[in-house]
Chain A
Amino acid sequence: AQRVTQPEKLLSVFKGAPVELKCNYSYSGSPELFWYVQYSRQRLQLLLRHISRESIKGFTADLNKGETSFHLKKPFAQEEDSAMYYCALSAGSGSARQLTFGSGTQLTVLP
């Protein structure tokens, strides 16, 4: 069975500081990893996915299969980055592709 672990429930950084949100996973197959974000009073939305290898809002995440990690990073945090961040893994048997989420990290960027 697959599992996603986000060890930090809360993370606070100052504006302009680097930020790293940790995500570790366990899955026997070839995973697809995502980061979802939920801003205050908004719905859950996709931030980025590892297969795209793109940077969204200055965030990047690299899949490290050796360490089974998919940490989210941003070199200079902004106040508008304050939100709940969920790491998720897409896996499934047969044709169903279900998302397995971590428990989330609440990021607060202080002025």
Chain B
Amino acid sequence: ETGVTQSPTHLIKTRGQQVTLRCSSQSGHNTVSWYQQALGQGPQFIFQYYREEENGRGNFPPRFSGLQFPNYSSELNVNALELDDSALYLCASSSSGRASHSDTQYFGPGTRLTVL
């Protein structure tokens, strides 16, 4: 069984550019959630994907978008990058998005995005 993986590990972009981050979910998991973690803060929920559909969204603008693929891997896309988008982006997978309270989320190592 493999854990959650994310790529790339680090990324540097300039303001106004677009970025795509990738996440492979843990084997057997069908739900992926994305979080943004600014320096010194806890992770903030961006959105969740369940069976290729967006299944909930936090307080992030539409320039944050995502995809989930049939193999349950996922992408996070951010358009028109701003300086404040600099953060660690975490992906977490779980076994179901619509079930009980008891879905444990397993986190990847994160992608560190720096916007200059």
Give chain A's interface residues, CB within 8 Å of chain B: 4, 6, 9, 32, 36, 43-46, 49, 51, 86, 88, 90, 92-104
Contacts and interface: CB of A to CB of B under 8 A. Distances in A.
B97 A101 contact: no
A95 B56 contact: yes
A96 B46 CA distance: 12
Contacts, number: 69
Interface residues of B, number: 29
Contacts of B40: 9, 103
Contacts of A32: 101-102
B6 to A, nearest CB: 9
Residue among A43, A44, A90, A94 with the highest chain B CB neighbour number at 10 A = A44
A92 B90 CA distance: 19
B43 A95 contact: no
Contacts of A49: 102, 104
Interface string B2-35: 0010000000000000000000000000000101
30 contacts: A4-B42, A9-B40, A32-B102, A43-B110, A44-B43, A44-B107, A46-B106, A49-B102, A51-B101, A51-B102, A86-B42, A86-B43, A93-B56, A95-B50, A95-B97, A96-B48, A96-B50, A97-B48, A97-B56, A97-B103, A98-B33, A99-B35, A99-B43, A99-B92, A99-B105, A100-B45, A101-B44, A103-B40, A103-B41, A103-B42
